[in-house]
Chain A
Amino acid sequence: RSHLDYMSEVMGVLQHHDAITGTSKEHVTQDYTVQITAALKACSYSAKIILNQLTKRQTNKDKPVVTEPPQPSARYHDQATQPQPTFTFDFDSCLLLNVSACDISETKDKFMVTVYNALAHSVFHYIRVPVDGNFEYEVTDYRSVPITHQIISVPPQVTALHPIQASGYELVFLATELPPVGYKSFFITRKPARHVNAPRFRFKDVPEVVLMQNDEKMASDDTQRPPW
Chain B
Amino acid sequence: NSNVVSIGNKYFSIGFDSKGFLNSIALDDGSEHKLSQTFFYYEGAVGDNRVFKNRSSGAYIFRPNSTERFVANQVQTKVIKGPVVEEVHQTFNDWISQVIRVYHDYNFVEFEWLVGPIPVDDNVGKEVVSRFMTDIKSSNVFYTDSNGREMIRRVRDHRETWNLNLEEQVAGNYYPVTTNIAVEDQERRLSVMTDRAQGGSSLQDGAVELMVHRRLLHDDAFGVAEALNHTHAIRGKHFLIFGKLNGAVPTMAARERFLQAEKLLSPWLFFSDVSSYEYEDWR
Contacts and interface: CB of A to CB of B under 8 A. Distances in A.
B162 interface: no
Interface string B77-93: 01111111101010100
Given A104-B272, A117-B267, A218 B82 contact: yes
A18 to B, nearest CB: 8
Contact of A125 (B89, B224, B267): B267
B262 interface: yes
A211 B77 CA distance: 12
Per DSSP, are chain A's interface residues mostly helix, strand or loop, or mixed? mixed
Interface stretch (B11-19, B100-108, B182-190, B201-209): B100-108
Given A85-B277, A111-B273, A142-B283, A99 B84 contact: no
Nearest to A102: B271
Given A111-B272, A142-B283, A152-B87, A174 B81 contact: no
B261 interface: yes
Contacts of B282: 87, 112, 187
A47 B104 CA distance: 32
Given A23-B59, A126-B106, A155-B99, A89 B272 contact: yes
Contacts of A155: 89, 91, 97, 99, 114
B34 to A, nearest CB: 26
Interface stretch (B49-57, B134-142, B225-233): B225-233
B270 A91 contact: yes
Interface in B89-124: 89, 91, 97, 99, 103-106, 114
B274 A119 contact: no
Interface stretch (A5-13, A143-151, A192-200): A143-151
Interface residues of A, number: 73
Contacts, number: 171
Contact of A152 (B82, B228, B266): B82
Given A98-B235, A157-B97, A157-B114, A174 B84 contact: yes
B281 interface: yes
Which of B103, B261, B271, B277 gathers the greatest number of chain A CB atoms within 10 Å?
B271
A40 to B, nearest CB: 12
Q: A26, A114, A155, A161 — which one has the most chain B CB atoms within 10 A of its CB? A: A155
Which of A24, A51, A114, A175 has the most chain B CB atoms inside 10 A of its CB?
Answer: A114
5 contacts: A22-B228, A70-B276, A114-B269, A150-B85, A157-B91
Interface of A: 18, 20-26, 47, 51, 69-70, 72, 75, 85, 87, 89-94, 97-99, 102, 104-105, 108-119, 123-127, 129, 140, 142, 144, 148-150, 152-153, 155, 157-158, 161, 172-175, 178, 187, 189, 208, 211-212, 215-216, 218-219, 222
The 9 closest A-B pairs by CB, nearest first: A150-B82, A69-B276, A91-B270, A150-B84, A112-B272, A89-B272, A104-B271, A114-B270, A23-B59
Given A70-B281, A216-B81, 11 more contacts: A23-B224, A26-B229, A89-B272, A102-B271, A110-B275, A116-B267, A119-B262, A148-B83, A161-B114, A187-B283, A208-B78
